[in-house]
Amino acid sequence: MAWKKSSAPKSVYRRQLAAQLKELRDASSKTMAEVAREVEINQGSLSRIESGDRGTTPVLVKAMLDCYGVSDPTVREDILDLVRADQAQKQKWWRKYSAVINTTQYGGYLELEASATSLRSYEPQLIPGLLQTAEYARQVITAMRVDLDAKQVEALVAVRMNRQALLARDDAPKLWAVIDEAALRRVSGAPALLKSQLEHLLDLEPRTNITLQLLPFDAGFHPGLYGSFMLMGFPEPNPDVVWVENLTNSVYFEGSDDVGRYTEVFDHLRAAALAPPETRSHVKSMIKEL
């Protein structure tokens, strides 16, 4: 299985830019060595730009477009918009939390999540981070990250709360979350905490860009028993990505076979889960029990 361990995947804009620049060079019938000589750039640097491993500048891209004979102003401006968008994404709101984010290999996920158009989440043990209350997040992070001190925990709570702003944007991604019943019943001696969290889910559920489904205990064994995952979709022609976390690192999959397998599993899970109206009724019943 092809997988990548990385804390900084390429931005969606850089991947799109890289593909288009390579396509334009191929159409011009110029070799990479010829282009490198004409625009006065190291061939290795040009290769990294075409693979998306390196960013670039509007000045250099204009020279490349001249070299490829691209004169259409609309095409040129679309390409330059991608360069500007990639540069703008470097101004990350989470930069001030870089120390703790680097420690937890979180930065790469935030890069992708910020530019995704769709998010499909499966969680067997916890409420998804984008749907957590601050107190729930604090309790979860404290329990899971015994290596962090109180200040670091608060930093991660702040990051998690700031992430949730993307669901309220004008261009908010669509979030489809399938949550196992075990996650909703994990009280851990704090029924008031769980009640507040469940009420928060009910408050969020009416949003048109959020779909919640509960996977009940009586669904039995299912393909999600391998663990949680997040499927992220992006504007065409960028491929979907699967993000998986474990105790010591985070990995992402972008191969079509891997993404296809996870997509198939997610489809099985949402088919086995309760429909959104039933999920809402079930959550209401759980709140009454508390």
Top mean pLDDT of 89-93, 110-114, 276-280 is at: 276-280
Range list of H helices, the chain: 12-28, 32-39, 43-51, 58-67, 73-88, 98-103, 107-115, 134-144, 150-163, 181-184, 191-204, 256-272, 276-289
Pick the residue with more confidence: 238 or 65?
A: 65
pLDDT tier for residue 104 given thresholds of 50, 70 and 90: low
Evaluate whether 196 touches 132 at the Cβ level (below 8 Å).
no
Residue 175 pLDDT grade (very low, low, confident, very high; cuts 50, 70, 90): very high
Q: Contact, 204 vs 210, CB < 8 A?
A: yes
pTM for this prediction: 0.74
pLDDT in tens, 42-67: 999 999 898 888 888 999 999 999 99
**Residues 230, 121 contacting (CB under 8 angstroms):** yes
Position 3 scores a pLDDT of: 37
Q: What is the pLDDT of residue 59?
A: 92
* Residue ranges of domains in the chain, CATH in brackets: 10-88 (1.10.260.40), 105-131+169-289 (3.30.870.10)
Distance CA 123, CA 167 (A): 18
> What pLDDT was estimated at residue 253?
82
Cβ contact 173:116 at 8 Å: yes
Q: What is residue 8's predicted lDDT score, i.e. its pLDDT?
A: 43
What is the share, in percent, of the chain residues with pLDDT greater than 70?
Answer: 90
Per-residue pLDDT reduced to its tens digit, 2-37: 334 333 456 677 888 888 899 999 999 999 999 999
Q: Count of alpha carbons within 13 Å of 95, Cβ hemisphere only?
A: 5
pLDDT (tens digit per residue) in 259-284? 999 999 999 999 999 999 999 999 99
pLDDT digits (tens, 9 = 90+) for 183-228: 998 876 688 999 999 999 999 988 999 999 999 999 999 999 899 9
Beta bridge partners of 245: 250
User: What is the rounded average pLDDT for all residues in the chain?
Assistant: 87
